Amino acid sequence: MAPRKLAAGNWKMNGTLAALDQIDQLVADQPAPGCDILICPPATLIQPMAARAQGRIAIGGQDCHASASGAHTGDIAAAQLRDAGASHVILGHSERRTDHGETDAEVQAKAVAAHAAGLIAVICLGETEAQRDAGQTLDVIASQLAGSVPEGASAANTVIAYEPVWAIGTGRTPTNDQIAEVHALIRDRLAARFADGADMALLYGGSVKPGNAAEIFAIAHVNGALVGGASLKAADFGPIVAAL
Ligand code: PEP
């Protein structure tokens, strides 16, 4: 089975109820998309967005706690995301790793919790610019992959997103060869570790736009994209979906 194609949007800390018009527009503009579509809005919008998405767009959280419930003020449990209408959750985004000091072990524990709640974990990996300049990219990605992805991962419950930290929100992207090299490494490691590792969807993320999406999607082992800024407007995200 080939990996499913996925166009995923990460709205980060952007959007209020008024932004749900973009979901109506996306649904109207993409009557028969050739891929799965996922939008991960702020937690406040998960429930209303799920109601507006008419089952045509999957909805996801941007983080979850590793515990099922308890005294964790400000956090959200995976089961609560699921209860609100989410089917996916982004884990280990570089902004979480940087802003909140999340480690690979914590990301892995969150992925276990997500799987237990029936969510698909979108696990993010990526090197910093300094690590790339030092020639450490493949070692960093291999290490994050080994440490962040739990033993229970499968093609049905896990998506991997390669997001170079220096490409997020900067307008800069790696060369096609650089993306291909990292995706090939991830594919090899997944196939060696998991029975259906060859079927797990691999996303590229970092300054994907309508103008570069088709070229990126043509790279081997790129099964879709995790898109930040260009996912906020249907007029930008629609053409990315169409390119996949
Ligand atoms: C992201 O936040 O995951 C991301 C890839 O952002 P952008 O597309 O804006 O670079």
Q: Report the CATH number that the domain containing residue 198 is assigned in CATH.
A: 3.20.20.70
Question: Residue 243: inside a domain, yes or no?
Answer: no
Distance 228 CA to ligand 1 centre (A): 3
pLDDT along the chain (244 residues), means of 10: 94 97 93 93 97 94 98 98 98 97 98 98 98 98 98 98 98 97 98 97 98 98 98 97 96
Please check if 154 is assigned to a binding site. Answer: no
Cβ contacts of 212-221, under 8 Å, gap ≥ 24: 212/173, 213/239, 213/240, 213/243, 213/244, 214/243, 215/176, 216/173, 216/176, 216/179, 217/243, 217/244, 219/176, 219/179, 219/180, 219/183, 220/180, 220/183, 220/184, 221/180, 221/183, 221/184, 221/186, 221/187
β strands within the chain, DSSP E: 6-10, 36-40, 58-61, 88-91, 120-125, 158-162, 201-205, 224-227
Which amino acid residue places its CA nearest to atom 8 of ligand 1? 228
Give residues (CB < 6 A) around ligand 1: 10, 163, 168-169, 205-208, 226-230
Does residue 82 belong to any structural domain of this protein? no
Domain that holds residue 199: 105-235
Q: Let me know if residue 53 belongs to a domain.
A: no
Does residue 124 form part of some domain?
yes
Is 77 among the domain residues? no
Active site residues: 93, 163
In-domain check, residue 65: no
Domain count, the chain: 1
Q: What ipTM goes with this model?
A: 0.98
In a domain, 43, yes or no: no
| pLDDT given for residue 69 in this prediction | 96
58 in a structural domain: no
